[in-house]
Amino acid sequence: MKKLLRLTLAILAFFLVSETLPAQCFYDADRGAYFNLDGTPCTNTVSTAVPFLRIVADARSGAMGDVGIGLSPDPNAIHFNASKLAFAEQDFAMSATYTPWLRSLGLNDVYLAYLTGYKKVDDLQTVGFGLRYFSLGSIQFTDVNGEPLITGKPNEFEVAVAYARQLTDNFSASVTGKFIYSNLAAGQIVNGETIEPGIAGAADFSFTYKTEIDMNNAESNLTVGLAATNIGSKITYTRSLTKDFIPANLGIGAAWDIDLDDYNRITFAADINKLLVPTPCQGDNCDTDNNGIDDYKEQSSVRGIFSSFGDAPEGFKEELREFVYSAGIEYWYDQQFAVRAGYFNEHVQKGNRKFFTVGLGLKYNIFGLNFSYLIPTTNQRNPLDNTLRFSLLFDFGAFNE
C-alpha cells in the first residue's frame, strides 16, 4: 500500500512540476556537444504544463502510431486537424473514447475520457466540439512530516469548439477555441504558496488539401494537413509571476487512400510533429538578468513559438531531434472490418518514446468500434504500455441512408 501511495504521489509531482529540471550536463568543447555525467548524449526533453492536451485518445489513430492529421475525417479530427471536418461525409457523428493510464503499474483510477462530435451546417461548413477529461485518481496528501491531510482527486479537462469551412473543392480551413482547466492540488501549500487551479485559453488553426491521384486500376486520394494546435496563454498554479508553457505544437501529415476494388481499401499515413516551446537552457548563461529564473521560462507564448525553432543548445542538429515521427497503415474490408498497425519514434535526447501499435476496427450500420494496443520497443516506460484502448463511434447520418 505504501509503495502504491508513493508511486501515486510521484505521478502527481510529475504533473505539478510542468518544467522538468534541466539535466546535469557538461559541455565537451572537443566534440562541440553537451553530455550527461555518464558520457551519454545530454537528455534535454522539451516539457510543458498540461501535457494531457497532447495525449492521443482516439483508438483508431492510437493503433496507427498516433498519426491523424491526414486521415479521413471522423469526430476525433478535432484533436489533430479540425479542418478535415469540412470534408466529412456524414451529417452528424459522435465518438466516445476511454483510455486507461498507467494500468501496467496497477493503477485503476487514472484514465483519460474523450467525447467528440461534429454537425454539418451545410455542404461547406461544419462545427465540431470536444470534451477531454483526465483523472489522476485519489491521492492522499501529507504534510512535511508525512502525516496525512486530506484525500484529493486531481483532474484536468479541456473544452473545445471548432468551425471548419471548405474554401474550394479541394481545400479547407478551420479554427478551434479551447478552455483549459487543471486542478492538481488546489488548497495545498507548497513552499509558502497556496496551490490554485490553473486556467488557460488556446486556439488551433488547421488546413487540409485533398486531391485525386490517377491510378490505372484503382481509385486513389491524397490528403495533406497542416495544424498549429494549443496556441495560447501560459498557465500557473500559484500567484507567481512565472508561468509555464502549454504544449503548443506544429504538425504536418499526409494520408494516401487506395481503393483496390469494391471491397478492399488500404491507407498509408505519416505525421511529423514539433512542440512550439523553448528548449531548456544548458550551461552557465541561462539567467542573464540574475533574477533566479532561466530566461527561456520568462518568454511570452508568442516569443516562445518563434524561438523554439532556433534555441537548442547544440544548434540545428538538436533542433532536428525535436521532431517526432509517426507512421501507420490501415486496411478495410467491405468498410466493415479494419486492421491497423503503426510506429512512433522520438529521439533519445528528447524523451526516447519508441513503440509499435496494432489495432482492429469494426463498423456496422451507424456503430463503429475501434481497439488499439501499444507495444514499447525500448526500456523507456510508457503510460500506455501493454494497455488496450477503445473508441465508440456513432454515425447518425447513416440513418438517412
Q: If you average pLDDT over every residue of the chain, what do you get?
A: 86
Between these two residues, 96 and 186, which has the higher pLDDT value? 96
**Which pLDDT belongs to residue 9?**
40
Mean pLDDT score, 253-262: 94
Residues 6+ apart with CB under 8 A from 279: 44, 46, 296, 308, 311, 312, 313, 318, 319, 322
Per-residue pLDDT tens over the stretch 14-42: 444 433 444 567 777 777 677 777 777 78
**Sequence spans of domains, the chain:** 2-399
* Phi, psi for residue 241 in degrees, rounded to 5: -75, -20
Specify the CATH number for 2-399; select among 3.40.50.720, 3.30.930.10, 3.40.630.30, 2.40.160.40: 2.40.160.40
Residues 6+ apart with CB under 8 A from 258: 215, 218, 219, 220, 265, 266, 267
Considering the entire predicted model, what is its pTM? 0.88
Percentage of residues in the chain with pLDDT exceeding 70? Answer: 89
b/e sequence 309-343, b meaning 16+ C-beta within 10 Å:
eebbbbeeebbebbebebbbbbebeeeeebebbbb
Specify the DSSP class assigned to residue 244. B
pLDDT at 7 over 50: no
